[in-house]
Amino acid sequence: MMLTRRSFLGATTAAAALWPSLQPLFAAPNSRGFKVGACDWSLGKTADVAAFDVAREIGLDGVQVSLGTEKNDMSLRTAPVQQAYREASRRTGVAIASLAIGELNNVPYKSDPRTIDWVRGSVDAASALGRQVVLIAFFYKGDLKGDKAGTDEVVRRFKEVAPQAEKAGVILGIESWLSAEEHMDIVDRVGSKAVQVYYDVANSEKMGYDIYKEMRWLGKKGVICEFHMKENGALLGKGRVDFAKVRAAIDDIGYTGWMQIEGAVPEGGQLVPSYVDNRKFLKAIFPV
């Protein structure tokens, strides 16, 4: 078929007009840097290096690692345990994605004096492992919803540890039942870039918040440090969260980096097959 100069120029002009919308489809594979991991507790291996073997079986990019438990006194704060995690990561090819202190749900940061050293130790551990984010959990006994005194104490403690975290380049991410505005109140009162929001889409949806609006509002303020991609009792994409809208909100705020799968196993479902499905689902929406 012959192509005249006029038709060639017309096709070139049309392609140029379409290029902005098509460009993301042809971007370099690492242009956004999306990586999919999972929490070690969701893999059934809380504070256990065996989480990396499970993650490799699933095909995950990384693992969100627990600092430890009350029983082992947050063992990731010690050099030998840190080295064991480095070795597990090298052996499996699965990255240490970020850290978390889930035990704060049972031993609250808002009241228990031991947790002051735990959070300080998490900053040192994250720095030693070359990680940036530590999830600070506020559920169950640690819940801040409607607890002004507890929130005030958390703000005070964050103010004390923030300079250490800033110096280390570590972010302490608040995950809780609070709304975007309530989270932002804590962040503003602490007044440090080292204290941000760890956003869990399913927790916020369960509370009745407009998660797509919240993500944009917090994200444009630059205070979302990482995401939990989650459904309560369902595979990702089979529950109440609209992940196409999640992707649109993430595009709007320009977020790149880690997202950790948590929960997302249907009733009676097996962990590994469920997480293989969850990983494939997320990778389809958030290709690297």
User: Which residues fall within 8 angstroms of residue 76, CB to CB, at 6 or more apart?
Assistant: 47, 65, 66, 67, 68, 82, 85, 99, 122, 125
CB neighbours of residue 12 within 10 Å:
10
pLDDT at 33: 85
pLDDT at 30: 43
- Structural contact between residues 110 and 146, judged by C-beta atoms closer than 8 angstroms: no
pLDDT at 13: 43
**Domain chopping of the chain, boundaries:** 31-285
Token readout for 131 is 């990680």
pLDDT at 52: 98
Output the tens digit of pLDDT for each of the chain's 288 residues: 344 444 434 444 443 443 343 344 333 444 568 999 999 999 999 999 999 999 999 999 999 999 999 999 999 999 999 999 999 999 999 999 999 999 999 999 999 999 999 999 999 999 999 999 999 999 999 999 999 999 999 999 999 999 999 999 999 999 999 999 999 999 999 999 999 999 999 999 999 999 999 999 999 999 999 999 999 999 999 999 999 999 999 999 999 999 999 999 999 999 999 999 999 999 999 986
Q: Would you say the C-alpha torsion 185, 188, 189, 194 has a positive or negative sign?
A: positive
CATH class, domain 31-285, is: alpha beta
